[in-house]
Copies of this chain bind each other. A is one copy, B any other.
Amino acid sequence: MKNTFGNSIALTLFGESHGAMIGAVLDGLAPSIAVDEDFIRSQLSKRRPAGKISTARREADEFQIVSGVFEGRTTGTPLTILIPNTAQHSKDYSATRSLARPGHADYTAYAKYHGCEDYRGGGHFSGRVTAALVAAGAILLSALKQKGITVGTHILSCAGVSDTPFGDLSAELEKLNTLDFAVLDADRGEQMKAAIEAAAAEGDSVGGVLETAVLGVPAGVGEPWFDTVEGVLSHALFSVPAIKGVQFGDAFEMVNGRGSEYNDQFYISENEIKTVTNHNGGVNGGITNGMPITFRCAVKPTPSIFKAQETVDFMKGESSLLELKGRHDPAIIHRARVVVDSVTALAVADLLAQRFGTDWLGE
């Protein structure tokens, strides 16, 4: 249903880049979940990193929880988070409003909303809306952690530089969740940053691949048809701006191999059923098998670049040339990562709540 995701635990997003505020309503939470505002702040800061490779608006992302929390814990009623917009540029967007920025949603918003959309700064399509998503996701990530479920993501590749693949997941996720630029190998991270800066110097942008793991989800969660773990997760993940592809396990590698290589054979370890490999990303037949859920998201190069581009003025119906000014991120993959963790937490919590009930997430 449009701007709401989830059946048992549901998140609704609202707000425009240059409106008064953005926000989120999170419904279906169990009562009694501790709400850690410091953790929310730290997650928001991951979405808003400093440094040469990012040019995010310099705003504090001061959030306010205005409902659903009482004496530091969830009440079980809808939890609403508001984040005021304080740093909007006062510039006049109307001059360029009908010049479709390639790779952006200007033209599609116009086509969908008949020209009534708030076009300033991307409006409701702005990446800024993900701040509300991240704040809500922080609450879910905390709650899942209490239940022994951990989510973590690293930049598997960016601008042609690859990070070390996942290994000892438990320790790695813990470490990743302390980092602003989430790589397992810090040297590779520096190389990525350098490559991002090189692209930026040319007025260009880069993309990459995020790899995520979820630990601790028991076997038997998900549905065989439609509400498969892959289907529910991907549904949520494609809302993260710039994500254009999602693969579970080693999907796009398996396509060239054989069953004998990629079937994950089972074994028993300390009375637990495990698989020797995890090419299927912890999901068989749409349902978790108890192994880590793993997936990779393709993040396209940021569409905002400084090079001149051909475009059209969709209100005049004529060709035009576009040269963007101002500040634009040459890469967003390092910032998208915490958004991926957040929607992952939402999808996983919802799947669990459907099987075990909404009370389950409480303490």
Contacts and interface: CB of A to CB of B under 8 A. Distances in A.
A245 interface: yes
Nearest to A218: B111
Contact of A75 (B104, B124, B312): B124
A256 B244 CA distance: 13
Nearest to A205: B259
A160 B261 CA distance: 15
A64 to B, nearest CB: 7
Given A10-B4, A116-B31, A246-B246, A260 B307 contact: yes
A15 B303 contact: no
Contacts of A7: 1, 7-8
Contacts of A159: 256
Given A258-B301, A355-B359, A357-B357, A78 B14 contact: yes
29 contacts: A2-B78, A3-B77, A3-B223, A15-B67, A16-B67, A66-B82, A70-B118, A75-B113, A103-B280, A103-B284, A107-B289, A112-B221, A112-B287, A124-B224, A125-B286, A204-B258, A208-B255, A225-B239, A226-B236, A230-B243, A231-B236, A244-B251, A254-B300, A254-B301, A262-B301, A263-B303, A266-B312, A273-B314, A355-B359
Interface stretch (A22-30, A43-51, A55-63, A138-146): A22-30
A213 B265 CA distance: 35
Contact of A31 (B15, B113, B157, B358): B113
A323 interface: no
A263 B101 CA distance: 9
Interface string A227-250: 110111011111101011111111
A42 interface: no
Contacts of A112: 31, 76, 219-222, 287
Contact of A77 (B224, B264, B318): B224
Nearest to A271: B317
A123 B263 CA distance: 20
Nearest to A18: B70
Contacts of A28: 1-2
B288 A108 contact: yes
A355 B353 CA distance: 9
A20 interface: yes
A19 interface: yes
Contact of A255 (B4, B79, B209, B261): B209
B70 A116 contact: yes
A31 B64 CA distance: 29
Interface string A296-322: 001111111101011110100111000
A246 B252 CA distance: 9
A117 B265 contact: no
A22 B103 contact: no
Given A20-B64, A66-B20, A251-B245, A108 B225 contact: no
A112 B286 CA distance: 11
Contacts of A244: 230, 247-251, 254, 280-281
Going nearest first, the 8 A-B pairs with the smallest beta carbon separation are A105-B285, A245-B251, A245-B247, A357-B357, A111-B220, A31-B116, A244-B251, A205-B259
